[in-house]
Amino acid sequence: MSENRTHLDVKHTWDLTTIFPTDEAWEAEFEALQTDVESAVAYQGHLLDSAASLLAITEAQLGLARRIEKLYVYASMKNDEDTTVAKYQEFQAKALSVYAAFSGTFAFYEPEFMTITDEQYQEFLSEEAGLALYKHYFERLFQQKEHVLSQAEEELLAGASEIFSSASETFSILDNADILFPTVPDGEGGVVELTHGTYIKLLENKDRDVRREAYEGLYSVYEQFQHTYAKTLQTNVKVHNYKAKVRKYASARQAALAANFIPESVYETLVETVNKHLPLLHRYIKLRQDILDLPDLKMYDLLTPLSETDLSMTYEEALTKGQEVLSIFGEDYARRVKEAFENRWIDVHENKGKRSGAYSGGSYDTNAFMLLNWQDNLNNFYTLLHETGHSMHSMYTRENQPYVYGDYSIFLAEIASTTNENILTEALLQEVTDEKVRFAILNNYLDGFRSTIFRQTQFAEFEDAIHKADQAGEVLTSDYLNKLYADINEKYYGLSAEDNPQIQYEWARIPHFYYNYYVYQYATGFAAANFLADKIVYGTQEDKDKYLDYLKAGNSDYPLNVIKKAGVDMEEVDYLEAAFAVFEKRLIELEELVAKGAHK
């Protein structure tokens, strides 16, 4: 059973007092923000009065946004520590409410800005030197011109932001706080409470009965609540489609990708290329079945390590090895990693009520915090370096860009994290000669590739399908979602839906389906990371410098341009084909090691 948070070693918890020293300080800032947002109503109608007013109101808007982000980050991270604590649920709701008020107050900004003529815009730039900083910011707004509504319409949308997020919020509370899973055998003669955190570890167990009971136990709960989960997901999809429609986008996908200035061809090329290479996945699945010596392979057999070699490590060991591996980027990067690892930026262990999974968070004015639910295995080591990649990206961006460009697009985010993962794999394969250990590392890499490029593209295909279905008038009942998910899953893994009936409910437990066309970026990011890791490990100092420039760029340029300067053209298929070439190369080595008996 998960421990209460009070029992954790404080050095393994993040220090949120660096954001607000006390809850009372947070509440004081909340009150101040409410007042300041309300006062900002006076700006309406005056944005283009003069060059000076455009600068002043732009800076006022960004200044308030900056403070609200900090307010929200504290509330959401305190809530994530224990999602059952009502106080921080209230804090998070208050932060969302002040953001909704802010959005309503500044709903005038884009409609007013869009009335500026080219001549007036150029005059303003020449009159007010301070506007030069915001040229790229303004340019991005101009590109969205046909999708900006009237001021009244923008106010209505802004006012409904809390309503629009309610399906996602409901899913989060249901999945993290209210759902109770059964106890299942732990493989050591006892039982363990099934949680989001323990589930993966149980599916990695060598005992097939343990895996099966954990799998069936988990999905029995999702089967029980499938209709509720279908409703929250359907509502969320409807929100995406509605907002896309009112903003005159052809689809929710187009709207979501346009936010990052990504052409839909990038999405389509990913799905097409992955589908083309599904025979490689089927080949790996068949090899897995042979190694496990099973008459049939089930979905609950996909996570158990194929190797008998114990690659478990403690959190402290992972910190030491992680710093060693990431030193390849140079002294400056290494210094930042050390700071994150030693100064309580990381919330390490699972506790009762804690949000599941892992992430890197924070805002422009905070540390780049990380949340983990640590287990002593190689996968969690990869997760640590993955989230560290995000945090270093955030740290470099915030230190090198003004607030207006001090974040980066989601599209670029997953590249920094998965480059670290790929560098870890390269480092381990370079230093290990023992065939049994190489087998374990290759197994881990291929499983990581499967879960990132294949699995996330599978998710992307499902996500796109349900948005299109809703747009076409299909009702997203649990029956519809179950069948669609089971069919796509069967296509990807070659394992029949009939033999794996529980997998039809997996869609219900995936929080990323609430993130609005997010998951495809895990796959594109991992593929690009393969490309970049190769350059960093085997290339020149210039390749490393270009990579660090990408980390520093933030939103100062369009995402595709930022990553192209680092050496990856993501509008072409080459980076994807290169990733599959690495996968096949490592699959071949694994097959050869199996032939030698290295897995025994």
Q: Which residues are catalytic?
A: 387
The token pair that represents 422 in the structure block? 């790929």
Sequence-ordered list of residues with C-beta below 8 angstroms from that of 106, at least 6 positions apart, any chain:
40, 43, 61, 158
Cα–Cα distance for residue pair 597/594, rounded to 1 Å: 5
| Distance of alpha carbon 450 from the chain centroid | 17
Side-chain half-sphere CA neighbours of 20 within 13 A: 22
- Crossing angle of helices 574-595/278-292, nearest 10°? 20
Cα–Cα distance for residue pair 539/582, rounded to 1 Å: 17
What are the backbone angles phi and psi of residue 370, rounded to the nearest 5°? -130, 140
Cα–Cα distance for residue pair 286/291, rounded to 1 Å: 9
Where are any strands of DSSP class E within 332-442? 346-347, 359-360, 370-371
Beta-ladder partners of 185: 191
Do 275 and 573 form a contact (C-beta atoms < 8 A)? no
Cα–Cα distance for residue pair 126/132, rounded to 1 Å: 9
Question: Strand 191-193 to strand 346-347: parallel, antiparallel, or no bridges (unpaired)?
Answer: unpaired
The token pair that represents 115 in the structure block? 């009335």
Cα–Cα distance for residue pair 29/474, rounded to 1 Å: 45
Q: Any idea which residue has 């167990």 for tokens?
A: 205
Using the Cα atoms of residue 143, residue 146, residue 147 and residue 152 in order, give the sign of their dihedral: positive
For 578-589, give the DSSP string.
HHHHHHHHHHHH
Cα–Cα distance for residue pair 509/175, rounded to 1 Å: 7
Where are any strands of DSSP class E within 180-279? 183-185, 191-193
Do 212 and 296 form a contact (C-beta atoms < 8 A)? no
The token pair that represents 239 in the structure block? 């929100």
